[in-house]
Amino acid sequence: MNDLFDLWEKPSSARHMIAGWYQWADAGEVSSGLPEYLIDTTQARQIGEIHPDGYYLFQFPGTHDLLRPIVTLDEGYRIALENRRNEFYVSETPNSRFFIFIGDEPHMNVEQYSSAFLDAAESLGVERVAIVAGVNGPMPYDRDREVSCVYSLPQMKEEMEGYAVRLSNYEGGATIGVYLADRAESRGIELITFYAMVPAYDFSGASSAIQRVAAEEDYKAWYDLMRRLDYMFGLDLDLSDLEDRSAELVAAWDSRIAHLKKKMPGVVEAYMEEVNEKFSEQPFDPLGQAWEDALGDIFGDAGEMSLSD
């Protein structure tokens, strides 16, 4: 029994967790939407939750709708009141088993919240936590998303370099993912936060009518992250739906940019050309990596045989 969380089931066969949060800076709904998508598509079942007490503000000037729980009334009677979610799920597919966490980012008492999250992960026997998140930035919408990475243990660096990521050199306010990585290190827990860049374009300098253009749900970012996580955790998930949604999203971007080009002739072309010139793509190629690993094993064994001979 733990005062900070409840786990009413502890599946022994799952060892990895994918986690995300509803948060104010949820670019492309990567952090909130991707875990929800996995819960829905894999028919995951809830097995626990973090108690929500003490982590959330009810009011703060200018943030009325952002902080308070959402209530639905019908002729004066409350028919629904949304509570804060901090829930653990287990997904059991024919090929894999893994945990999923979806939560509301805490406003305060983050130290206690982090302890609750990591305590629960340890209680479940989780060997590695992967947090997903998104950041807005001017990158080509039709290219593989740039993915940056934060990891908890120094010895994880070499492995992370194999996932076509940029090892972050960020300095500034900590996100919940970075904070948890810091706290996970003291416990020896492997925790990674992947940040996918979500295309966002600022045309405010050219037109007062068009300030900023960005994707609400960046399925391409979801897909590019899941390709990495599927390979990392050996999940063998069917990602064809996300691949199809990615293609549809790119097509929608094509139409949107074409429309903007008509409204701002020359301006959009120049802007997008600059975005493309500054972008350096790092495609993730798990088959290529697997082939390199296999060759290494073969030549490694051959080398050992020749030495023993």
Question: For the CA atoms of the chain, what is the radius of gyration?
Answer: 22
Give residue 286's pLDDT band: very low, low, confident or very high (50, 70, 90).
confident
Task: Please state, in angstroms and rounded to a whole number, the distance separating the CA atoms of residues 60 and 66.
Answer: 9
Task: Please state, in angstroms and rounded to a whole number, the distance separating the CA atoms of residues 103 and 228.
Answer: 22
Q: What is the structure's pLDDT at 128?
A: 98
Q: Could you tell me which residues come within 8 angstroms of residue 33 by beta carbon, excluding any fewer than 6 positions away?
A: 20, 26, 217, 222
Q: Which of 257, 284, 269, 25 is nearest to 142 (CA)?
A: 257
Q: Please compute the mean of the pLDDT values over residues 279-298 and round it to a whole number.
A: 70
Q: Which of 77, 55, 57 is nearest to 69 (CA)?
A: 57
Task: Please state, in angstroms and rounded to a whole number, the distance separating the CA atoms of residues 25 and 136.
Answer: 9
Domains parsed from the chain with CATH numbers: 5-308 (3.40.50.10900)
Beta bridge partners of 131: 19, 193
Q: What is the structure's pLDDT at 48?
A: 97
Q: Could you tell me which residues come within 8 angstroms of residue 209 by beta carbon, excluding any fewer than 6 positions away?
A: 263
Give residue 308's pLDDT band: very low, low, confident or very high (50, 70, 90).
very low
Q: What is the structure's pLDDT at 64?
A: 53
Residue 5 near residue 71, CB atoms below 8 Å: no
φ/ψ of residue 38, rounded to 5: -65, -40
Percentages of the chain per state (helix, strand, coil), in multiples of 5: 40, 25, 35
Q: What is the pLDDT of residues 219-276, one digit of tens each?
A: 999 999 999 999 999 999 999 999 999 999 999 999 999 998 888 888 889 999 999 9
Q: Which of 49, 51, 50, 48 is nearest to 10 (CA)?
A: 48
Q: Is the pLDDT of residue 66 over 70?
A: no
Residue 221 near residue 196, CB atoms below 8 Å: yes
Q: What is the pLDDT of residues 79-122, one digit of tens each?
A: 766 777 899 999 998 888 999 999 999 988 899 999 999 999 99
Give residue 1's pLDDT band: very low, low, confident or very high (50, 70, 90).
low
Q: Please compute the mean of the pLDDT values over residues 40-65 and round it to a whole number.
A: 79
Task: Please state, in angstroms and rounded to a whole number, the distance separating the CA atoms of residues 189 and 84.
Answer: 26
Strands 190-202, 86-92: pairing kind: unpaired
Give residue 73's pLDDT band: very low, low, confident or very high (50, 70, 90).
confident
Q: Could you tell me which residues come within 8 angstroms of residue 62 by beta carbon, excluding any fewer than 6 positions away?
A: none
| Residue 85: exposure state from Cβ atoms within 10 A (0-12, 13-18, ≥19) | middle
* DSSP annotation of 124: T
Q: What is the pLDDT of residues 184-207, one digit of tens each?
A: 999 999 999 999 999 999 887 766
Q: Which of 92, 54, 189 is nearest to 131 (CA)?
A: 189
